[in-house]
């Protein structure tokens, strides 16, 4: 997960830094550091990514069109 993907995912879900931090069980400063592109432990990044995925975000890898995120399709629709 790239820093910009974290921010895009958080905003798409309507989450603030504090809300995401609480859900991922990390500090708000950790989320801010990630979004600024600072180095974090891989397990911390994994925890944040897993939290965002559980909330309904799908991460799109770099595939020539740039890395991104999208909301998972609601299976009910």
In tens digits, what is the pLDDT along the chain, a chain of 77 residues?
999 999 999 999 999 999 999 999 999 999 999 999 999 999 999 999 999 999 999 999 887 778 899 998 876 65
* pLDDT value for 16: 97
Spacing of C-alpha 42 from chain mean position: 14
- How many Å apart are CA 32 and CA 36, to the nearest integer? 6
pTM for the predicted model, two decimal places: 0.89
**51 exposure class (CB count in 10 Å sphere: 0-12, 13-18, 19+):** buried
Domain ranges of the chain: 3-71
Strand partners, 60: 68
* pLDDT value for 53: 96
State the chain's maximal CA–CA distance in angstroms.
39
CATH 1.10.3720.10 fits 3-71, yes or no: no
Spacing of C-alpha 58 from chain mean position: 9
* pLDDT value for 77: 53
């Amino acid at each position: 997960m790239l820093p910009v993907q974290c921010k895009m995912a958080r905003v798409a879900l309507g989450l603030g830094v504090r809300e995401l931090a609480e859900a991922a069980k990390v500090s708000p400063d950790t989320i801010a550091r990630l979004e600024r592109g600072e180095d974090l432990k891989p397990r911390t990044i994994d925890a944040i990514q897993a939290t965002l995925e559980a909330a309904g975000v799908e991460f799109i890898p770099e595939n020539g069109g740039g890395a991104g995120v999208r909301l998972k399709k609601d299976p009910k629709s």
